[in-house]
Amino acid sequence: VSGRTLAEKVLSRCSGEADARAGDIVEAAPDLVFSHENTYLVNKSFSELRMARPWDPSKIVVFLDHRSPANNAQTALVHARIRQIVKDRGIGSFFDVGEGICHQLLVEKRIARPGQLVLGADSHTTTAGAIGAFAAGIGATEMAGIWATGSIWLKVPETILVSLDGHLDCGCFSKDIALHLAKTLGASGADYKCIEFTGSHLFDTSIAGRMVLCNMAAEAGAKAAVVPADSTIGVWYSGCGTKDWSPVRSDPDASYCSKMTLDVCKVPPMVSGPDRIERSDSVEKFADIAVDQAFIGTCTNGRLEDLVAASWVLKDKKVASGCRLIVAPASRSVLEDAIGMGVIQTIIKAGGTIIPPGCGPCLGAHEGVLAPGEVCISSSNRNFKGRMGSDEAAIYLASPATVAASAAAGRIADPREVLTFDL
Amino acid sequence: LTSEVRVWRFGDDVNTDLIIPGIYLDNYDPINLASHAMEGANKEFARNVRQGDVVVAGRNFGCGSSREQAVIALKHAGVSFVIAKSFSRIFYRNAINLGLPAVVSPDASEVFSDGTAVTVDIWSLVMTSKDGSKAAKLLPIPDRAREILESGGLISYIKKQLREGQPSR
């Protein structure tokens, strides 16, 4: 009998099964669940069950981030209803308008812990795998089911082992690796599977970078993506006063459905688009595509190191005439730290516009919606047709540095022209 | 469970932004959502879809956002089945949980063209054109999903289990 993967270990523990294996269906009790504006839908389904309180409100977190602050009266009403739901149902933890994006806060505030089973009513729940949790997205109605019963049926997934080795070149970032992997795997290449990251490159990769990798795994259809607990994750949790976690790692002889290796020194700055994640290639292939809007932010790339990279590119530069740069910090803390470091000042001086912490224009709700015929280069995760507004707009995905370089050039540009290690 | 209806055919990787674009998500009214169903993929769909019609698609149907409104929009537009080569995980669960049968077929998207009148029989696992000239194979719905569908969706399923006093779902 082979050893067990992290996915198998976490789902065994949460289901009380002695040895749940890939392919088994288990009844799992999550350690932590969350939802955002769709809490409205969760509560609608939950109300049909005529229960006053969820099974364990202390394990539920609710965020207002997707249309935050409210983009219209309809959303404002939804927000108001959710605030009431949080009170009525005794929800353990609530993050209102301006606090930031759910996936960011779960990690930043150390709400999610290594080894936990985290389920969120959002497809990018995979992001919390960055701290060694098994984190998967689910729908609103099944979240209501968890509110009622504290459990959910899940299939134990097979795991793809992705080994990242070596060092990135200057001007290249975790986002470039993520776009490279998504191209290799394709939009359904990891469907129903867990991606587990390993390899020497992880020693280089911050929690923020790991969040990018796990976040973008959703674009290949992954159920979960995980960086098993290591010293970087240990340090992340050491200062927060909680001992309430223990590292979970796959056994050395665990069984994987496939293994991939990537020498990251060969990964150039990548661009993906429009419309399909697989349409990815080195930035030069997209050179000279004129850009109307450049957007930096989201659960993928709105963290401090992303804004620092953007300001490094934009120092003493101006956003090109005819192009607009929109920047949404992923959380209030990111914004505060970026102000403290002078990063926000650099971006504003360059002609950028700062919008409130939250999902911003990523899902086409507000704060930078695109017109027909417009081109946007974005640090977000989805370039689907119509995602950011008009279905006649084109969206290209790239790292924050590439987005910033493109904003300054007014066309898709290579950040390596600006960023060098010769400081 | 059989019905005679028309096919609306779509390609691979139809994401939930195409099924219900993000700009419509601030209004949770199912009638509003249905009036924009599939708008990103076929602007004629919402206007012309008839009660019972079938969505037939290629690989990875429903990828992207977990938005349950994608299923609500299709269901309230009148769609009776979604039949695809494969489904994205969250969409599949949402469909079953809201009582919309999502069925895997290795060949339906190649066999049937847009507008074909068809009969779908998910228990005997065949889908045939009304004129009998074409047929596609349907794969069985997994046991757990079938139980939820037969209850009319997850909430009814849980209600039943709570009534019967089962410790877990």
State the average pLDDT over residues A149-175.
Answer: 97
Inter-residue contact A22 to A157 (CB < 8 Å)? yes
Split at pLDDT 50, 70, 90, the class of B164 is confident
pLDDT score for A252: 97
Q: In angstroms, rounded to a whole number, what is the distance separating the alpha carbons of residues B6 and B114?
A: 8
B166 pLDDT above the threshold of 80: no
Query: CB-CB: which of A78, A139, A364 is closest to B93?
Result: A139
In this prediction, residues A359-375 reach a mean pLDDT of 97
Torsion angle defined by CA atoms of residues B56, B81, A138 and A358, in that order, rounded to the nearest 10 degrees: 60
Return the SS3 of A327: strand
Report the phi/psi class of residue B28: left, alpha or beta, with left for phi > 0 and alpha for psi in -120 to 50. alpha
Q: Number of helices (H) and strands (E) in chain B: give both, helices first.
A: 8, 7
Please tell me which residue, A246 or A123, carries the higher pLDDT value.
A123
pLDDT beyond 50 at A171: yes
Measured CA to CA, the distance from residue B96 to residue A141 in angstroms comes to 10
Weakest-pLDDT range from A86-100, A267-281, A409-423: A409-423
Average pLDDT over residues A329-334: 98
Q: What is the mean pLDDT of chain A?
A: 96
Whether pLDDT at A235 is above 70: yes
Q: Is residue A354 within 8 Å of A325, Cβ to Cβ? A: no
Which residues, in sequence order, are CB contacts of B143 under 8 Å at separation 6+?
none
Contact assignment for A382 to B64 by CB distance below 8 Å:
yes
**Best residue of A142, A153, A193, A397 to probe chain B, by most B CBs closer than 10 Å:** A142
Average pLDDT in the B44-48 region?
97
pLDDT of residue A241: 64
Write the single-letter amino acid at B100: L
For chain A, percent of residues with pLDDT exceeding 90: 96
Q: pLDDT digit string (tens) for A374-395? A: 999 999 999 999 999 999 999 9
Q: What number of helices (H) and strands (E) belong to chain A?
A: 13, 18
For residue A81, give the amino acid letter: R
Provide the shortest C-alpha distance from residue B133 to chain A (in Å): 32
Name the strand (E) or helix (H) holding A263: strand A258-263
Helix A207-216 vs helix A231-238: angle between axes, to the nearest 10 degrees? 110
Whether the per-residue pLDDT at A265 is higher than 60: the answer is yes
Phi/psi of residue A127, each to 5°? -55, -35
Kindly state the percentage of chain B with pLDDT values over 70.
95
CA distance B113 to A382: 29
Phi, psi of A137 (to 5 degrees): -85, 145
Q: Cα–Cα distance between B53 and B4 in angstroms, integer?
A: 8
Q: Dihedrals φ, ψ of A376, to 5°?
A: -125, 135
The pLDDT assigned to A161 comes to 98
pLDDT at residue B169, as a whole number: 44
Q: Which two tokens stand for residue A317?
A: 């530069």
Question: Does A270 score more than 70 pLDDT?
Answer: yes
Q: Which pTM was predicted? A: 0.97
pLDDT at A370: 98
Alpha carbon distances (Å) from A234 to A6, A13, A190, A241: 17, 21, 28, 12
Tell me: pLDDT of A303 over 60: yes
Q: For residue B67, which residues of chain A lie inside 8 Å, CB to CB?
A: 38
**How many other C-beta atoms are found inside a 10 Å radius of the C-beta of residue B47?**
10
- Contact in structure between A37 and A78 (CB atoms under 8 Å): yes
| Model confidence at A155: pLDDT above 50 | yes
Q: At what angle do helices B89-97 and B69-77 cross, to 10 degrees?
A: 50
CB contact under 8 A, A121 and B66: yes
State the average pLDDT over residues B54-83.
Answer: 98
Contact between chains at A38 and B67 (C-beta distance less than 8 A): yes
Report CA-CA distances (Å) from A79 to A66, A99, A256, A367, B76: 11, 14, 43, 18, 25
A107-126 average pLDDT score: 97
Among A14, A191, A195, A383, which would you mutate to test the B interface (most chain B Cβ atoms within 10 Å of its Cβ)? A191
Q: Would you say residue B50 has pLDDT above 50?
A: yes
B40 CB neighbours in chain A (<8 A) are 384-386, 391
pLDDT in the model for residue A207: 98
* Cα gap A304→A330, rounded to integer Å: 8
Task: Report angle CA B35, B37, B41 to the nearest 5 degrees.
Answer: 135
SS3 label, residue B65: coil
Are A248 and A114 in contact by the 8 Å Cβ rule? The answer is yes
Chain-centroid distance of CA B101 in Å reads 5
Query: Whole-number mean pLDDT of chain B?
Result: 94
Pairwise CA distance, residues A15 & A20, whole Å = 8
Q: Check if the interface score ipTM surpasses 0.90.
A: yes
Q: Average of pLDDT values for B124-143? A: 95
Decide if B90 and A138 are in contact by the 8 Å CB cutoff.
yes
Compute and round to an integer the Cα radius of gyration of chain A: 21
Strands B126-129 and B117-121: antiparallel
Task: Name the residue among A78, A123, A223 with its Cβ closest to that of B26.
Answer: A78
